[in-house]
Structure formats: C-alpha cells, structure tokens
C-alpha cells in the first residue's frame, strides 16, 4: 500500500485514487486466480491433460510432487526385497528373469523421477527426503523376503496390487505422470505373470515347496491389502485428488477389486488365503473379507516396520558410497569441456 502522502489540496483524492487503484489491482489478481483455477478445473473435467508449463494450483503441484516421488521411491526401494534373491535364484532362467524384473523397477523409478522433475522438483532433493525419513514409500517393501517363494508372492500380489493402482493412473490429469504410467503398465504385466508362475510351480511341487508357497502367501496377503491405503473415510487427501483426477478410484474400491480377482487365483493353484472371515457374498457379487490390522499399517508407515531401517540404510549408503563416483564423472566432464575450448 502506497505510503506516499502528497500534501496538496487534492491530497485526499489522490490518496484515495491510489488506494482504489491498488484495491482494483488486488481484486484483479484475485479474480485472475479464481479464473485460472476455474479454467484449470474445466480442463481437468474435460479430460484435457495438464502439461509442465501449464498454470496449475500450487496445491496440485505439491500433491503431485509428493505422490509421484513417493511412487518413484517405492520402485527403487522395491528393488531391494527382490534384489535379495538374485544371487540365490534356484536356476539360470529364474536368475535372469529376476534380474530383468528388478532392472525394470529401476527404470520405472527413473521414469517417475523424470516426471517429478517436470514439476520443478529436484530429484536428489526428493531422494534425500527419502533417506532422511521425511518422504514415504509404499509400506509393502518394509516386509522381509526370507524365502524364494516370496519372489512369487511379490510378483503375484504386490505387482498385482500395483497394476490395479496404476492402470487408472494412465488416465490421470497430469501428462508426464500419465505417460510414465503407460510405459510402466506395459512392463508390469510381465512382472505379475512371472511371479504367479513362480508360486504356481511351488504350489504344485513337492510338499516342501508347497509349504514355502503357502507360508509366503500367509505373510504377504495382509500387507498386500494394506497397499491400497487406509479406508476412504480415513484418507485425508482422497477427495481433492479425485477432483483433480490425480486419483481415479477409491482405496476401498481398488482393494475390493484386488480381493475379488486374487482369491480365485489362489484357489486355482491350491493355496489358502489366510483370512478365516473370507466369504463370497452372492448378493453383492464380491468377497467379504476380515478386518485389516490398521495398527500394523500405521506403525509400518511411520517407520517401525520390520525392514524400514535396513531399506533406508541400504539406499542411503548406496548414494553416500557412490558420491565420489558422481563427483569424478562431473570433474572429468569439466576437464574434457575445458580441453575442447582450449
């Protein structure tokens, strides 16, 4: 607000004029903001993609940065529980396929970090947030993979759940995220199939193998259900995210879909879902299932799961132990550039 007071006869009018002008400018700014938000929402409603240089509400940008970077972190942290078995895969084919799968996950992480950079976020900053515990990642990767059968369970259940979440995101409002999801989904279906194949061979193998498979299912079933997040009425961000088409289906809907699809798969290969309350409901056409242990969910999300510490430690050490490599590469590039111009 202008503090210049010019003492003239028309002083007060001049001052008033400036006041009104400034007020008009302020209103203009507000109207513009509202107008921008309206136009933005219209685009979203009309399924027009939002691209990096388009105007977007700050909260939209912030939400996307959080969601996409969390997704990227999940892919990268997710390399660890499976990477755990590459050197011990039971045959050459399984070793190669597992290597390829984990490599894909690294690639997915990259596609997603790439998308988050388009929003003005810095990849390394989001990664440092992961390492410091500030940023979250999918809680499922905080569970251990003590047996080979877990490679099957992860492909089948975890990738299965991820696909369910990701397919709708191919239509999300933000262009780079949607396109990254299309690429991810293409590669993801191979992941689930190979996981299911692993566990099928076990379930139909020797008694020891069958026991291994059932044990993996027992340990991963409930954490897989928790992947879909809290119940919708507990989920803070859901409503706005749905409005902005960053989230296309509700947590509970997706979870129900997953159960309905997966139970018959387990039955097909002779494994038992570890839920005594699981029951087919003829009227609704869906499976009823037991209560999720939300205490466990929140504990794991908050960092107290079985592997949180180890996972973050591994990722942090990879970066720390590799800093000298990154620095060397930069130094060398600079030297080369200097020699060129010399």
Partner 1 sequence: MANAKEWPLWEVFIRSKQGLNHKHVGSLRAPDAQLAIENARDVYTRRSEGISIWVVESNNLYASDPQDSDAFFEPSESKVYRHPTFYDVPDGISHM
Partner 2 sequence: MNSLFEYILRIGDDSLILGQRLAEWCGHGPILEEDIAITNISLDLIGQATNFLTYAAEVENAGRDADKLAFLRIDREYKNVVLVEQPNGDFGDTMVRQFLFDAFRKIYFERLQHSKDEQLAAIAEKSLKETRYHLKHSSEWVIRLGDGTEESHNRVQNSLNVLWRYRTELFYMDQVDEELIKQGIAVDLYSFRTEYDSFVNSILDEATLVPPANNWEFGGGRIGKHSEHLGHLLAEMQYMQRAYPNMEW
Contacts with partner 2 by CB under 8 A lie at 76, 79-80, 83, 86-96, 99-100, 102-103, 106-107, 109-110, 113, 148, 198, 201-202, 205-206, 208-209, 314, 317-319, 321-329, 331-332, 335
Closest to partner 2 by CB, 117 or 232: 117
Burial class (CB in 10 A: 0-12, 13-18, 19+), 268: exposed
Name which position in 124, 267, 288, 302 contacts partner 1 (CB under 8 A).
124
Closest to partner 2 by CB, 102 or 116: 102
Which residue has 């060398």 as its token pair? 332
Closest to partner 1 by CB, 186 or 193: 186
- Indicate which of partner 2, partner 1, none lies near residue 32 (CB less than 5 to 8 Å, by partner kind): partner 1
How many C-alpha atoms does 70 have within 13 Å on its Cβ side?
Answer: 15
The reply to whether 39 sits near partner 1 by the rule CB under 8 A is yes
Name which position in 7, 92, 120, 281 contacts partner 1 (CB under 8 A).
120
SS3 string of 292-314? CCHHHHHHHHHHHCCCHHHHHHH
Q: Which two tokens stand for residue 186?
A: 């293409």
Window 173-192: residues binding partner 1 (CB under 8 A) = 180, 183
Considering CB under 8 A, how many residues would be counted as binding partner 1? 34
- Indicate which of partner 2, partner 1, none lies near residue 322 (CB less than 5 to 8 Å, by partner kind): partner 2
Which residues on adjacent β-strands are paired with residue 286? Answer: 281
Identify the sign of the CA torsion 15, 17, 22, 26.
Answer: positive
Cα distances (Å, whole numbers) of residue 38 to 69, 243, 293: 27, 12, 41
Stretch that binds partner 1, among 35-43, 84-92, 212-220, 270-278 (CB under 8 A): 35-43
The distance between the two most distant Cα atoms of the chain, rounded to a whole number of Å, is 102
The four Cα atoms 50, 53, 58, 60 give a dihedral, to 10 degrees, of 20
**Nearby residues of 325 by Cβ (< 8 Å), 6 or more positions away:** none
Closest to partner 1 by CB, 42 or 288: 42
Give residues in contact with partner 1 (CB under 8 A): 32, 35-36, 39, 51-55, 107, 110-111, 114-115, 117-120, 122-125, 127-128, 180, 183, 323, 326-327, 329-330, 332-333, 336
């Amino acid at each position: 607000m202008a503090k210049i007071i010019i003492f003239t006869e028309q002083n007060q009018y001049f001052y008033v004029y400036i006041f009104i002008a400034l007020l008009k400018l302020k209103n203009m700014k507000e109207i513009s903001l509202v107008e921008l938000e309206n136009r933005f929402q219209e685009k979203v409603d009309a399924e027009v993609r939002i691209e990096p240089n388009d105007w977007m509400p700050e909260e939209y940008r912030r939400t996307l940065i959080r969601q996409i970077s969390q997704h990227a972190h999940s892919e990268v942290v997710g390399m660890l529980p499976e990477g755990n078995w590459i050197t011990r895969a039971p045959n050459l084919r399984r070793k190669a396929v597992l290597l390829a799968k984990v490599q894909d996950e690294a690639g997915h992480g990259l596609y997603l970090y790439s998308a988050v950079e388009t929003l003005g976020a810095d990849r390394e900053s989001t990664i440092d947030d992961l390492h410091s515990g500030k940023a979250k990642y999918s809680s499922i990767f905080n569970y251990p993979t003590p047996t080979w059968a877990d490679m099957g369970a992860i492909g089948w259940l975890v990738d299965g759940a991820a696909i369910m979440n990701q397919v709708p995101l191919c239509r999300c409002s933000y262009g780079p995220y949607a396109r990254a999801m299309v690429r991810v989904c293409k590669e993801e279906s191979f992941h689930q199939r190979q996981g299911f194949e692993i566990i099928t061979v076990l379930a139909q193998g020797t008694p020891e193998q069958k026991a291994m498979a059932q044990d993996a299912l027992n340990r991963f079933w409930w954490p897989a259900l928790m992947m879909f997040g809290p119940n919708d009425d507990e989920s803070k961000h859901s409503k706005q995210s749905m409005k902005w088409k960053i989230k296309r289906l509700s947590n509970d809907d997706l979870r129900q879909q997953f159960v309905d699809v997966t139970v018959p798969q387990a039955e097909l290969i002779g494994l038992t879902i570890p839920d005594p309350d699981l029951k087919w409901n003829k009227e609704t056409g869906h499976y009823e299932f037991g209560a999720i242990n939300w205490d466990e969910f929140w504990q794991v999300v908050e960092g107290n799961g079985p592997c949180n510490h180890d996972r973050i430690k591994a990722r942090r050490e990879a970066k720390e132990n590799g800093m000298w490599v990154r620095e060397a590469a930069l130094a060398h590039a600079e030297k080369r550039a200097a020699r060129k111009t010399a």
